[in-house]
Chains A and B, each alone.
Chain A
Amino acid sequence: MNDLCADIGYKSINHFGEQLCGDHVDIIEQGDNSTVVVLADGLGSGVKASILSTLTSKIISTMMAEGMPLEECVSAVAATLPVSSEHGVAYSTFTIIHLQNNQTAELIQYDNPHVILLRDGENYDYQKTEMNIGGKQIFKSSIPLRENDVFIAMSDGCPHAGIGIEYNFGWAIEDITSFMETIVPAGYTAKTLSTMLVDECYKLYGGEPKDDVTSAVVRIRKREPMNMLFGPPSNRDDCDRMMSLFFSKEGKHIICGGTTSTIAAKFLRKPLRPSLNFEGSDLPPTAEIEGVDLVTEGVITVARVLEYAKDYLKDNDRYEDWGMKRDGAAMISRFLFEEATDINFYVGRAINPAHQNPDLPITFSIKMSLAEELVDCLKQMGKRVKVSYF
């Protein structure tokens, strides 16, 4: 065992004019520390391609995660895929990234552009062994993982970007590699990295992609604990217990809520200093307590974080909002989405009588559903979240 973990994210855009994507990414966890990521690209585009790639990635990821040998997975796919009446073949290319015990990455590549590996921010040329399974030429590699390794898998829509528009022969893999080398050191999440790559392809296609474009990114990183406190406990007598549990935990500490931060400041015997700087945002300003990494207002700020989280899991259109700004919600988002891998979430169930006013959009039930929805989103991002209610 080691203290490494994987941050995995992907993004696809569709062939211009198509409603379905012909590429498909499937991620299946195998126990606590192993994961199978499959990126499949079905022949053609639209419905047919979507069916081919979905079947391929689902079959391979499920069988691999159950420990079946690669040969059986591939022959199961070959035997299952419907044969296209138009092309006379059943065909879907695939890339498999199998992370084993957070120690080794096994790459299995069939006809997709080869996975780019950036080690310490630079292109790393890894060994590939060629094998033949059922007449298919498949490349296999086994790579011991290191912190900061970044694996970039893609469909051929990426290197084909810009053919005949920006470039004569598309966006060369070497150029994609140097593009990624420039953005990886900034510490973006896997989801943001794949979004930036796919967005760049979209631009090179002049906004009308001639193919489905997908990239899936795996970032190997150290585990990073994070603690978040939201709301005072329902029983006043529990204040000290809640605070001492919260502050005894390793990692950064975020406190959301006016009353909550007042209680925390009292517990730490440090002054609470609210700021009056709105940072050009429509959210309430943040505050400072010595010994706490971030102090913000509660419901309004957390509601915004939830909006960002939902968008992040879908199109990730707002990463420029939360990725750069200095308001409370943006800072919480960066801590939770980018830095944290393990989150301890302390939710207080106190009812603020002043908020139980039909004119205010911040009632108790809203606060509780905010907390639940946010936990759900964080889990979907691959974070390990522990929630304690007080």
Chain B
Amino acid sequence: MKVTVCIGSSCHIKGSRQVVEQLQHLIAENGLKEKVDLSGTFCMGKCQQGVCVTVDEAFHSVSPETVEDFFNTQIKAKA
């Protein structure tokens, strides 16, 4: 599974750093390091909906507050 987080200017201001760090932590905690390939990307062109995250091409709008929910429903459940 490939999870990509936007680290461009706009998403950075909206908290992409917190999103990345929480995902790194959650992935490690749940022992999913082998299954999930977490990477960064620059602007996806959807800055209004940031923080932009894709899971195998599917687009999601995530914020530091919703990242745990997002991880449980979109990553943990499907991995």
Interface residues of A, Cβ cutoff 8 Å to B: 257-259, 261-262, 272, 274-276, 278, 282-285, 287, 297-300, 352, 354-355, 357, 360-362
User: Which residues from B are CB-within-8-Å of A276?
Assistant: 5, 7, 20, 24, 38-40
With an 8 A cutoff between CB atoms, is B42 at the interface? Answer: yes
Give the segment of B10-18, B54-62, B63-71 that binds chain A. B10-18
Contacting pair B20 A362 (CB below 8 A): no
Contacting pair B43 A354 (CB below 8 A): yes
- The answer, among B13, B38, B39, for a CB contact under 8 Å with A362, is B13
Contacting pair B40 A285 (CB below 8 A): yes
Contacting pair B9 A284 (CB below 8 A): yes
B interface, size bucket: 20 to 34
Query: For residue B24, which residue of chain A has the nearest CB?
Result: A276
Contacting pair A258 B13 (CB below 8 A): no
- Given the interface pairs A258-B42, A276-B40, the reply to whether A285 lies near B7 with Cβ below 8 Å is yes
CA distance A285 to B43 in the complex (A): 13
Smallest beta-carbon distance A322→chain B, Å = 19
Smallest beta-carbon distance A64→chain B, Å = 48
With an 8 A cutoff between CB atoms, is B30 at the interface? Answer: no
User: Which residues from B are CB-within-8-Å of A282?
Assistant: 17
**Total A-B pairs in contact (CB under 8 Å)?**
69
- The answer, among A258, A272, A278, A285, for a CB contact under 8 Å with B9, is A258
With an 8 A cutoff between CB atoms, is B47 at the interface? Answer: yes
Smallest beta-carbon distance B32→chain A, Å = 16
Contacting pair A362 B9 (CB below 8 A): yes
- The answer, among B8, B20, B48, for a CB contact under 8 Å with A258, is B8
- The answer, among B7, B21, B40, B42, for a CB contact under 8 Å with A262, is B42
Task: With A284-B8, A284-B17 given, name 6 new contacts (CB 8 A).
Answer: A259-B42, A261-B42, A272-B42, A300-B13, A354-B48, A355-B9
With an 8 A cutoff between CB atoms, is B72 at the interface? Answer: no
Query: For residue B17, which residue of chain A has the nearest CB?
Result: A278
- The answer, among A262, A283, A284, A357, for a CB contact under 8 Å with B48, is A357
Contacting pair A274 B9 (CB below 8 A): no
Contacting pair B43 A262 (CB below 8 A): yes
- Given the interface pairs A258-B42, A276-B38, the reply to whether A298 lies near B9 with Cβ below 8 Å is yes
CA distance A357 to B47 in the complex (A): 10
User: Which residues from B are CB-within-8-Å of A300?
Assistant: 9, 12-13
Smallest beta-carbon distance A192→chain B, Å = 29
